[in-house]
Amino acid sequence: MIVTPIKNSELDVLQDLAIRTYSAAFAHKNKPEVIASYYEYAFAKAHLNKQLATKDSLWFFARDNDTIIGYLKLNINQAQTEFQEPNGLEIERIYIDTTYLRKGYGKRLIDFSISKARQLKKNYIWLGVWEENPDAITFYKKQGFIITGTHDYDMIAEIQTDYIMTLDI
């Protein structure tokens, strides 16, 4: 697997992958109207384009040969959705296409995130994970993350609770 920065010209590919992976992970656990309103906001081209242009947000595709199999969004400094501490790095989005799940790619993206955090002189990584996503919680715990709190996650049509998980590096 190689990890490459996402280019502005790849916006359509990102949008398609984001919707597919988010749908696979969460559509079956949410009301259709909640998912629809979230997609309209979070995965709209204008919104994604603005996020791609954010200075302290780092977007990457995971590739297996020439196939894009996942993506990763890291935030530092003021781009972090919470805390905004200079010594932290947020993993805001980490998704793998369902065909490639449970093959080690998620761990490799976590390892990439750790390397990037060290390169940027960060002391810890944090992320939010939905409290009703036990597979993801278990995965992050296996990577060394611990639950350190909760926060509200705005799905536009409703508020959900995420666990905050952190990893000191």
140 is catalytic: yes
Given 105, 140, 153, 163, which residue is catalytic? 140
pTM for the structure as a whole? 0.94
**Residue 157 — pLDDT band, cuts 50, 70, 90?**
confident
**Residue 84 — pLDDT band, cuts 50, 70, 90?**
confident
* Structural domains for the chain: 2-127 (3.40.630.30)
Q: Read off the pLDDT of each residue in 92-120 and give the average, rounded to a whole number.
A: 98
- Residue 136, C-beta contacts closer than 8 angstroms, at least 6 positions apart: 25, 129, 130
Mean pLDDT is lowest, of 56-70, 112-126, 133-147, 150-164, for 150-164
For residues 18 and 95, the answer to whether their CB atoms sit within 8 Å is yes
pLDDT at 25: 93
Give percent above pLDDT 90 in the chain.
95
